[in-house]
Amino acid sequence: MNTLLEALYDNTSLNTLDLYSNGIGIEGGRILANFLCKNTTLTHLNLSHNNLGSEGGEALADALCKNTILTFLYFHDNNIGSKGGKALANALYKNNRLNTLYVGGNNFGSEGGKALANVLYKNSTLTTLHIGSNNFGSEEGKALADALCYNTTLTYLNIGYNNFGSNVAKALADALCKNATLKDLELWYNNIGDDGGKALENALNKNTTLTYLDIVHNNISFKLKSNNPDISIRQ
């Protein structure tokens, strides 16, 4: 890691760095975060599956408060937990450059989920957000749905595998009746059921911007239909 970072500090042209599954760990995460505070060229970074933990997540969040170059961050499966999730949410209030964030499988839980939902009211740069498999529940799902009623920048949202249930699906359906920017919504493995499916189907007949909806593995017994010819539904 030290050898790599020495090379990175000296490099003035690298814009993409993929460190997927390299066993970086907490200390390596801190070192990389320090590098990001100073780097002026990197726009795409993949740190997924590196077991950075909450401390590594907090260090990276602090770096995002200072970095003004990075636009794409892939940070799946690092188990940063609720503390890391809240730190990341705080960074998104301050960072006005990042537009693509993949942070699925990080066990954000209730506190991290609500913190991220609150960000969506105010953040005006994120267009792509993947927060699937983060151990959210119905409260976090409803908070995210409410935020979607006001957010005007997100075009892609993945909240799959969070066991939201039908009530969250109904809240999301209501949000889709109001949101005019989201194009891709992924809701796989959320136990939506028929009631949630019907609510979503009704919303699809009012929403004119969504072009892709993924509701695979949601215990819906009927095929959703829409009068919008431009939408693709994966079921």
Domain CATH number, residue 179: 3.80.10.10
pLDDT-above-70 percentage for the chain: 99
Q: pLDDT-derived band of residue 8, with 50, 70 and 90 as boundaries?
A: confident
Mean of pLDDT values over 215-227 = 97
How high is the pLDDT of residue 36? 94
Q: Strand, coil or helix: what is 168?
A: helix
Can you tell me the distance from the alpha carbon of 95 to that of 76, in angstroms, rounded to the nearest whole number?
Answer: 19
Question: Could you report the per-residue pLDDT of 153-205, keeping only the tens digit for each?
Answer: 999 999 999 999 999 999 999 999 999 999 999 999 999 999 999 999 999 99
How many separate domains does the chain show?
1
How high is the pLDDT of residue 5? 72
Joined tokens for residue 102: 């993949």
How high is the pLDDT of residue 39? 92
Domain region containing 177: 2-234
CA distances in angstroms from 98 to 68, 134, 145, 170, 203, listed in the order given: 8, 21, 22, 30, 30
> Does 2 score more than 70 pLDDT?
no
> Does 65 score more than 80 pLDDT?
yes
Mean of pLDDT values over 51-73 = 97
Mean of pLDDT values over 88-99 = 97
